[in-house]
């Protein structure tokens, strides 16, 4: 219990820091932020309204107080493009993004675990070299470009999946989101395969594996029952560490596949110069990573009691 409390307390400074960075985004805008944000719509009246709404004439600390006060009331400001509260626009788009993140994470595990097992089962053999070489190609692959290739091959040529969109209902989502999730998974897989292979090799060197081997346990059973179980925890950790990378990629992929999530909203809002929405999406992404890391840590502690007593 104390571990949970301590972990929650550690969350506070980071969460506050995230809000400070998002708050300061306004002040990084060169010139008068209100004028820049409003662009061609900048009339003296609208500039004055924005100045009052954000308290731009007040000292920084009081501006931040105002920002936090509104934030804690769930108010992310008024969307300049949609003319409705930004929070509503963002939360309406959140499900599609969460779908893509979870689907992508699951697929990347499905892809990575067998490959890592294949590589680790015989270190330095041809299969190991191949599995180690392929991720090197994947590491430098722009994910949006990979998305195009998958669309061209599987959607345009083979008609196996829709070219874009979110689909309707659970089976619809599952089908429509397959290619985007696969793109996300393929972008993440190189990182996961590499660390998973290393952790499996570690497990394979443990005494209990030697014991199992000397008892004559066949390789297949050894991997499924002894190695995999102990390598799953590192896999979850690797996913947790790279969740920022995974989530960041969804921003790009949503735009390639026209998925109505908050990543697409972010890029669209950038072109509409809808500052409150961009600010809100950045905040939501930051909070999302913080929460996922918390969940990963708690899950880790639940799975492995030793973690709770560290530090």
Partner 1 sequence: MSALSFPDHPESVLMPTAGDRSQGRPRRWYRQPALMSGIVILAVILFLAAAAPLLSSYNPIAQDLNASLLGPSAHHLLGTDQLGRDTWTRLLYGLRTDLRIAFIAVLFPFVLGTVAGSVAGYFGGWVDVIIMRLVDIVVAFPFYVLVIALVFVLGPGERSIYIAITAVGWVSYARIIRGEILVAKRQDYVLAAQSGGLSSIRIMARHLLPNVITQAVIYAMSDIVQDILAIVTLGYFGLGVPPPTPDLGSMINDGQNFLSTHWQLTTIPGLAVVVVGLGLSLIGDGLADLIRTGQS
Write out the residues near partner 1 by the rule CB under 8 A. 13-14, 17-18, 20-21, 25, 28-30, 136-137, 139-145, 148-149, 151-152, 156, 244-249, 251-252, 255, 266-267, 270-271, 278-279, 281-282, 285-286, 289-290, 293
Kindly state the smallest distance separating residue 228's Cβ from partner 1, in Å: 26
CA-CA distance, 110 to 46, in Å (whole number)?
Answer: 52
Kindly state the smallest distance separating residue 95's Cβ from partner 1, in Å: 18
Q: What angle do CA 181, 108, 137 make, to 5 degrees?
A: 95
Residue closest to 109 by CA, chosen among 300, 237, 264: 237
CA-CA distance, 150 to 43, in Å (whole number)?
Answer: 46
CB 311 within 8 A of CB 6: no
Kindly state the smallest distance separating residue 37's Cβ from partner 1, in Å: 10
State both tokens at 62. 């009081």
Q: With respect to partner 1, which residue has the nearer C-beta, 150 or 227?
A: 150
Q: With respect to partner 1, which residue has the nearer C-beta, 117 or 191?
A: 191
Kindly state the smallest distance separating residue 153's Cβ from partner 1, in Å: 11
Q: With respect to partner 1, which residue has the nearer C-beta, 61 or 133?
A: 133
Q: With respect to partner 1, which residue has the nearer C-beta, 226 or 264?
A: 264
Kindly state the smallest distance separating residue 226's Cβ from partner 1, in Å: 27
Kindly state the smallest distance separating residue 221's Cβ from partner 1, in Å: 32
Q: With respect to partner 1, which residue has the nearer C-beta, 38 or 227?
A: 38
Kindly state the smallest distance separating residue 1's Cβ from partner 1, in Å: 23
Q: With respect to partner 1, which residue has the nearer C-beta, 181 or 227?
A: 181
Q: With respect to partner 1, which residue has the nearer C-beta, 8 or 224?
A: 8
């Amino acid at each position: 219990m104390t571990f949970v409390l301590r972990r929650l307390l550690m969350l506070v400074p980071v969460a506050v820091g995230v809000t400070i960075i998002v708050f300061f985004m306004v002040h990084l805008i060169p010139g008068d932020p209100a004028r820049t944000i409003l662009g061609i719509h900048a009339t003296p009246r609208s500039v004055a309204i924005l100045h009052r709404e954000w308290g731009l004439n007040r000292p920084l600390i009081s501006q931040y107080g105002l920002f936090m006060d509104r934030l804690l009331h769930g108010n992310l400001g008024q969307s300049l493009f949609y003319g409705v509260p930004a929070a509503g626009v963002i939360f309406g788009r959140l499900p599609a993004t969460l779908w893509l993140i979870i689907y992508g994470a699951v697929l990347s595990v499905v892809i990575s675990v067998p490959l890592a097992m294949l590589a680790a089962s015989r270190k330095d053999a041809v299969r190991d070299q191949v599995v180690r070489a392929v991720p090197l190609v994947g590491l430098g692959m722009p994910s949006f470009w990979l998305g195009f290739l998958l669309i061209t091959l599987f959607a345009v040529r083979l008609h196996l999946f829709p070219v874009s969109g979110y689909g309707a209902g659970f089976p619809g989502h599952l089908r429509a989101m397959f290619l985007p999730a696969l793109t996300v998974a393929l972008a993440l897989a190189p990182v996961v395969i590499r660390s998973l292979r290393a952790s499996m090799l570690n497990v394979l060197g443990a005494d209990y594996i030697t014991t199992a081997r000397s008892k004559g346990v066949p390789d297949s059973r050894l991997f499924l029952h002894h190695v995999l179980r102990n390598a799953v925890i590192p896999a979850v950790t690797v996913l947790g560490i790279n969740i920022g990378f995974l989530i960041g990629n969804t921003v790009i992929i949503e735009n390639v596949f026209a998925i109505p999530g908050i990543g697409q909203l972010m890029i669209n809002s950038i072109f509409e110069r809808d500052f409150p929405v961009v600010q809100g999406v950045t905040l939501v992404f930051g909070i999302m990573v913080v929460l996922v890391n918390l969940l990963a840590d708690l899950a880790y502690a639940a799975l492995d009691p030793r973690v709770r007593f560290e530090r």
